[in-house]
Amino acid sequence: MSQSELQLSDIFSVDKDGKPTIKIVLFGPTLAGKTSMLTVFNALRRMEDPDLIVSSLTKIQEYGRTVFFDHSVFQTPPFKGKKFDRLRYHLWTVPGEERHKAQRDIVMRGVDAVLLFLNFEKTAWDLNVKTVKEAKAKIGEKFGKKIPVVAYINKSDLPPEQRTDKRAFITFLQDIAAIPKENVANYIMTGSCLNARNDLLTILKSENRDEYLENERLKTSKRPDSVWLVVRPIQKLTQLVVQQRMEVLQGI
């Protein structure tokens, strides 16, 4: 099969509608901010183009913590000159508490990519380490290889004295083989989901809304930088999955 003939359905499993789908799991410790990230994605899908949403938003909560979350639709990045149509994707997450370990086992079944959702707070370092080790144990030898992994460190808005040095994350993630030694910036990213959420709210409340909206939809070109930082790791994971699948399919 030539590259020009490839379709997403040749690379991914398809859903009941015959649409190619990717499953991404946000795997992180409790209170890292996973729900805040998903809130940003929910806001974007409502503000930018709700007609492109192909599955309903489902959020189940227990004691105020997210247990399950499902969201979809993403423009797949080009790969080696090949531009694909839209790829349906599902973001999954469960709370990081120990009592939800069995649920994490279930959620990780059939995963295509993992976003290690970590916490910059110094007090969360041990939980970050424990979480990454658990994710690797669940995936096994496919971790960071056949199952692409990208790390996102949340809460970059905290004062420097309250944050763990990013270099500590890099060293740990490389030592555990979660990310490669080269091109680190492509595999470990930082941002503030709180800032992204607040920036979107500011746009909605602004007297100059018309500068950001067109036909009541947020212009992609007007996404705040804080929002791009939240979207970027999902973009990168999707690109890595497409690349990995294409290389296997074509024997590259």
Highest mean pLDDT among 22-36, 80-94, 105-119, 166-180: 166-180
- CA-closest candidate to residue 222, choices 193, 197, 200: 200
Question: pLDDT confidence of 14, banded at 50, 70, 90?
Answer: confident
Q: Is 65 left (phi over 0), alpha (psi -120 to 50) or beta?
A: beta
Q: Does residue 114 have a pLDDT over 60?
A: yes
Average pLDDT over residues 165-189: 95
First to last CA, the chain: 12
CATH of 3-250, one of 3.60.110.10, 3.90.600.10, 3.50.50.60, 3.40.50.300: 3.40.50.300
What is residue 154's predicted lDDT score, i.e. its pLDDT? 97
User: How much is the pTM?
Assistant: 0.82
Q: Does residue 69 have a pLDDT over 70?
A: no
What is residue 106's predicted lDDT score, i.e. its pLDDT? 80
